[in-house]
Every structure is written in C-alpha cells, then in structure tokens.
Structure 1
Amino acid sequence: MSPAARIWKKIRRNEADPCLYVYPFSIQSIVVHFTIVLALRGKSRPSRDLAHLGFRLVNVERNENLQEWYLRDVNPLGKVPTLTSKSLASPLTDCLSVVYWICEQCPRLLPEAHREEICRLLSELHENFEEYSSPNPAVEDFLTNHDITPTHRQALQYKRECQRKQREIAAYNLSGGRSMTGQTTVFLDGVVELRDKYSSGGTWIFGGDIGPTVLDAHVVAFAARLMDISLEELVPTPLRTYAATIMSLPEWKQVTGGRPTVWDPMLGPAEGIRL
C-alpha cells in the first residue's frame, strides 16, 4: 500500500461511523476488541453497524484521553474504550455499555439460556476494573497549565472529581475487607464452576454447541493480563490451559498481533500498531 493510500485509509477510519476509540494496551479495550472479533467470527452475518465499525487510537500513555477534543466531544470521563455513532443518542462511555452494544449486534455472544450467569459475572469483573483502575496524576499537571481554555479546564476538573470519587469507593471497599485479589479469585472460581458444568474441558466456557460468548472474551483477556503482570498464581490451572488454547487461535492474534497485553517501550510507539 502506498503512503498516500495509508493516509487516506487512516482518515477514513477516523471518520468512521460508528467509531470505537481504543488504546491497544487498555484491558477494557482488549476485552471489547476481542468481543468484536468473536462476533465477526465464522459465517454469521454481522449487523451493518458492526461490519462498518472503525477504530481510532487514543494513546493513553501520552494522555491523549485528557485532551480537550476527547473530553469535550467523545468521553468526559477520559476513558477508553468509547463508542460513538449517529445511531446513538450519546456516546457509550464505559466498557460494559460498549460490550452490551456489541451483543445487541451479535446476540449469539449473549445466549439467552446463560444470560443471567454471564451478566452477573460481567458486572463483577467490570466493577473490579472500575474500582481499582489507577487515577491519572496528569490531570493535575494539565490543570496547572494557565494556557488551557476555560472549556478544557472545566472538563479536567470534572475528570478530577470523578477520580476522587473513584478513590473513595476503592478505599471504602478495602476497609470493608474487599480487595482486588479477593474479587479476582471469586470471579475466576465462578468461571471454573461454569466451565466444569457446561463444557467438560472444551474450548469455550459453555461448550462447543454454544461456542464463544462475551464471557469468553473477558476471561481470556483478563487471564492474559494477569499472566503478563506476573500474577498468574491468581489464575486457576484449568483456566490457564483454557486461556492458552484460545490465545493460540487466529482471533486472539488478530487482537494483539502477538504482543503482550501490557505496553513496553521495546514494542515501539503505539501509533504504529495496526488496529
């Protein structure tokens, strides 16, 4: 592909509707991307919106999520992933909302027979994601800049207030005996029980007849992240084997390009990663 063609492709991607704003080393972005890839897997016909979904990279390491355009026009929470679409009344600004939107486009990812079990576990995991995500200290750095616009300052102050509330919730839960490690153990043990009940050691949690679900997308991505940050002891042995099997599939490699789930300078600039 010529340089001009690559530029034009990038422009069209950034103007896509709907558009998913992601950072390829955000665990929530990985979850959403893998859910999309599983939705497009096989011979099932995706919805028009899902088939035409574009991606736009937001480099969190460079605080692009704190820029005025992003806070003002995309996500006032300054988070990824975020989904925008002319068919939506407003952007979907949290990961779980985006995930359920994908399931609306591809209902087989959330089979009715297992909806209650899947939704319960997804709520537990996303609550874990939200409560224990690290506040971004760069918000304060931006606010010390006297050259930012009043609109940008207001957006950053809102982001700072959201982070303050997030810290309070995490501190309250820790004081009540809840911890990220404990919640992770409960979540993964629940997945093991489901897999033992429905799959009998098969590739997917609910067995081959059901195939991949949105829960598989979450569990594999979460297990991969835990192993990448040297917390593999939290992943039960059956789930390590399960995750390794799925991570060997082309669908997982389509999401990660063979990279780990955690960014490292050795990987080069994130802008060079193909989404």
Structure 2
Amino acid sequence: MDKTDRVNCTLYCYPFSLYSIMVRYLIQLAKTSSEPHDATSPELRIREQVLDLDHDENIAEWYLLNVNRKGQVPAMTVEGAVAPITDSLDISFWLCDMFPQLLPPQHEPAIRRLLRDLHAIEGISITIRRREGPEEDLIDPCVDNMLARDDIGPEYRQALEAKKVFHVPKASHHVNVDQAEQQTATLLAEVARLYERHGQGAWLLDGADAGPTLLDAQIVPFVSRVEDAGRARLVPEALLRYAAARRASPAWDVVTGGKGTIRRKEYGPVRDMYDMSADVPPTTLCIPTASGKERRAQCLRVKS
C-alpha cells in the first residue's frame, strides 16, 4: 500500500472526559462496522495519547502552544494538516466524512439537530452535585498557580491567560444544574420517541438490522454519564435499557475498560490504568474502498 493511502492521526484524550469518550466510542463503532481490510485498502491510523488531567497535562506548554489553546480534550492532529481539530463534535463529523455509514444522509438532519442540543448542555453541570451557594462555585487554581511562576516564557504566559477564558466556574451553581437537567430530560425524551419509531432495536435508528450511527456514539456515553452522576430519573426507561445493552459490548469495554464514565478515587492514578507511552499501537481502520480515494481526499481537506 502506498504511503499516500494512509492517514496518521493523534487523538489527545482523557479517559473520564465525556467528550473524549464520545469520540473514542465512535472510533470503535467505525472499526466494528467498517469494511474488511486488505493490503490495498486506504487506512486511517489513530494513535491515542492520554493526557493526565489529574496532573494538569492539558495546560502543559507543549499542549497549549501546539495542540489546543483552550487546554481542553479531546483534540486531534492529522499528519500534514494545517491545524489540529479542537472540538469533539468537529472531530466526530470529520470521522463521519470518511465513514459515511455513521451519518446516513436520510438521518443526517435529525442527528445534527439532536447533537446540537446535546452539546448545548453544560457537561460539568450534568455531572456534579447541585450546590446552592455561589461561594461554592468551582474554582480550579491550576492556571493561576502556573501564572504565578516566574520561569515561564511570554508566549506560554499568554496562552495560560487565554485558557482562563474557557473556565466555567459557575457550572455547579443550582441555576445551571437545574437548566442542564431540564435540557437533558427534554433531549432524551425526544431521542426516546425517535427510538420508539424505529422499533427499539439494537441501535437508535432503523431497527435491529441497522448499524450504529454518530447518534449512538454520542447518546450511549451521555446516558451513561447521566446515570453515573445519579440522575437516571432524567432518562426514559427504554433508553436506560438500550444504553445498558450497548455497554455490554466489546466496543464499550475497549473505551472504558469496565470502569464508569466519572473518575473515582478507587480507580487509582490514571497513569496506572493506561499505558501512556508512545509505543501503544494505533487503531487502524479501513477507509471504505467504494470511494477510497475520494474519502482520503475528504480526510485531508484540511491540508495546506
């Protein structure tokens, strides 16, 4: 296979980031539903690099300056591309460009609309417990602690100052939690109605004979996070059963290793849970051969 038929990517992620889980699960669904591989097939190779957010690796100088100025995960770099992709939904749609079975044209408008509503929900607010007083708002001192040092360069200092813009300290305030809960209940009620119309099969759309779509890749982690946060009351019963069935699959186990979606003390250090070396083999996916060259061209459209 010619090197030009291979696309190499690096996905920067954190195992307990909801949006990292969504992208990693989409990759596994693409892998399980992609075409059989042969020696001539164009390939997408994705290496996962775990960032230890418990030790503030997301605000390390190399990451802020070279990957994501927001200091957020996930982010993805594409070999030869002019810039990283720094939004989880953008990464997901980018992957769907190469694996169109994940975003069927007949369902694309509905999927895009539902995911727009999903990503309008503040993930932190739906994850943590409800707090009444503004004095209990979340304050993360890691950026301020780094800015207090006198051994950092001006470009890094500027990047740290910019990172503070993306901090959401009021996410735990009761007003924001109440809003996130209401948005979640409304969204999942609509998804449940869609699921019912399509027969409540293995996947959300088109019944048991259809493959997974981007909607499944986002809803399974989201429902799982809502449950893990003690808010299962917001999830219709049919979606609870659906998500439980998907979590019993090997694809989900690859993503979570049998753990929940929220970081727990009993899990131990992230570095002990995951191989964070550069030697971890990449995930290799076969780009559909029916339009391999076109798909590869789409994949590299962000190139200079």
**TM-score of the pair, normalised by structure 1:** 0.84
Q: What residue number does 2:153 align with?
A: 149
CA distance in 2, matches of 1:135, 1:156: 15
1:118 aligned to 2:122?
A: no
Distance 1:248 1:130 in 2: 24
1:22 and 1:80 in contact (8 A); partners too = yes
2:259 & 2:159 partners in 1: Cα distance?
A: 34
Worse-matched range after superposition: 71-80 or 219-228: 219-228
Structure 1 residue 89: Cα displacement: 2.3
Whether the 8 Å CA contact 1:65–1:79 is kept in 2: the answer is yes
Structure-2 change in CA distance of 1:136 and 1:119 (3 Å): farther
Aligned amino acid, residue 26 of structure 1: S
Specify whether residues 30 and 135 from structure 1 end up closer, same or farther in structure 2 by C-alpha distance, changes over 3 A only.
farther
Counterpart of 1:211, as a letter, is: G
In structure 1, what is the equivalent of residue 273 of structure 2? 273
Give the letter aligned to residue 77 of structure 2: T
Aligned 1:108-187 pairs, distance under 5 A: 108-129=101-122, 132=125, 136-163=140-167, 179-187=179-187
C-alpha distance in structure 2 between counterparts of 1:98 and 1:272, whole Å = 27
Stretch moving more, 126-135 or 21-30:
126-135
Which whole-Å deviations, capped at 9, do the CAs of 1:10-41 have from their partners, x for residues lacking one?
Answer: xxxxxx93100000000000000000000000
CA change 1:196–1:167 in 2 (3 A) is: same
Q: 2:51, 2:118 → 1: CA distance?
A: 23
C-alpha deviation, 1:183, in angstroms: 0.9
Measure the CA separation in 2 of the matches of 1:243 and 1:117.
20
2:286 aligned partner? none
Give the root-mean-square deviation of aligned CA atoms: 2.5
1: distance between equivalents of 2:23 and 2:83? 18
Q: Residue 223 in 1 paired to residue 214 in 2?
A: no
Contact map agreement 2:200 2:208 (CA 8 A) in 1: no
**SS across alignment from 2:83:** coil
- State the Cα distance separating 1:83 from its structure 2 match: 0.4
Amino acid of the structure 2 residue aligned with 1:202: G
Distance in 1, matches of 2:36 and 2:122, equals 31
Residue 202 (structure 2) aligns with? 203
CA contact (8 A) 2:34 2:99 kept: no
Structure richer in helix, relative to its length = 1
TM-score normalised per structure 2: 0.76
Greater Cα shift, 85-94 or 254-263: 85-94
Shift of 1:132: 4.7
Deviation at 1:238, TM superposition (A): 0.9
Query: Which residue in the other structure is 1:13 paired with?
Result: none
Identity %: 36
Tell me what 1:28 maps to: 19
Secondary structure of the 1:112 match is coil
Shift of 1:42: 3.8
Q: CA, structure 1 residues 84+49, in 2 after alignment: closer, same or farther (shift >3 Å)?
A: farther
Q: Distance in 1 between matches of 2:268 and 2:238?
A: 34
Match of 2:260 in 1: 260
Change (3 A) 1:273 1:106: farther
Of the two structures, which has the highest relative contact order with CA contacts closer than 8 Å and spacing of 6 or more?
Answer: 2
* 2:82 equivalent in structure 1: 89
Distance 1:213 1:220 in 2: 11
The alignment of Structure 1 onto Structure 2 pairs a total of residues equal to: 252
CA offsets per residue over residues 58-86 of structure 1, 9 Å max, x none? 11111100111110011000000000012
> Does the 8 Å contact 1:18/1:49 carry over to 2?
no
TM-fit CA distance, 1:105: 1.8
The equivalent of 2:65 in structure 1 is: 72
2:51 is matched with 58
Residue 12 of structure 1: aligned partner: none
- Structure 2 residues without counterparts, runs of 5 or longer: 1-6, 127-137, 276-304
Structure 1 residue 237 displacement after superposition: 1.0
- Choose 245-254 or 178-187, whichever is displaced more: 178-187
Q: 1:69 to 1:259 in 2, by over 3 A?
A: same
Question: Could you say what secondary structure the match of 1:18 adopts?
Answer: strand
